[in-house]
Amino acid sequence: MARVCALIGTKVQYGHNVSHSHRVTNRRFEPNLQKVRLQSEALGQRIPMNVSTRALRSVQKKGGLDGFLLGTADAKLQPGAIRLKNQIRKKLSGR
């Protein structure tokens, strides 16, 4: 499983641990990913995905998965999220 957020693409970053004597060793900064099932009101189903906690806060702020995807630019979304956004847009235009 790749350590990448399914919505916004947050992934592992690299940096250094610096000791008191200023000896530098490499380390990884892992994103805080959670397995969640987000409800899509337009599609009428729950979609399972690995999402960072930062993206989850944004989803809640925008009023759910549909509001988040429709209100976010495609350049900031992962390819899977863009496909989901297009499905939601198509379903809403059919109503």
- The model's confidence at residue 92, banded by pLDDT at 50, 70 and 90, is very high
**75 located within any domain:** yes
Neighbours of 75 (CB within 10 A): 6
**5 located within any domain:** no
Task: Read off the CATH number of the domain in which 65 is found.
Answer: 2.30.170.40
- The model's confidence at residue 69, banded by pLDDT at 50, 70 and 90, is very high
**65 located within any domain:** yes
What's residue 94's pLDDT? 82
What's residue 84's pLDDT? 96
Q: Each residue of 31-61: pLDDT tens digit?
A: 999 999 999 999 999 999 999 999 999 999 9
Query: Could you tell me the two tokens for 21?
Result: 């004597």
How far, CA to CA in Å, does 38 sit from each of 15, 63, 87? Answer: 32, 12, 15
Residue 60: domain span: 13-93
Number of domains forming the structure of the chain: 1
Query: Could you tell me the two tokens for 12?
Result: 């592992």
**88 located within any domain:** yes
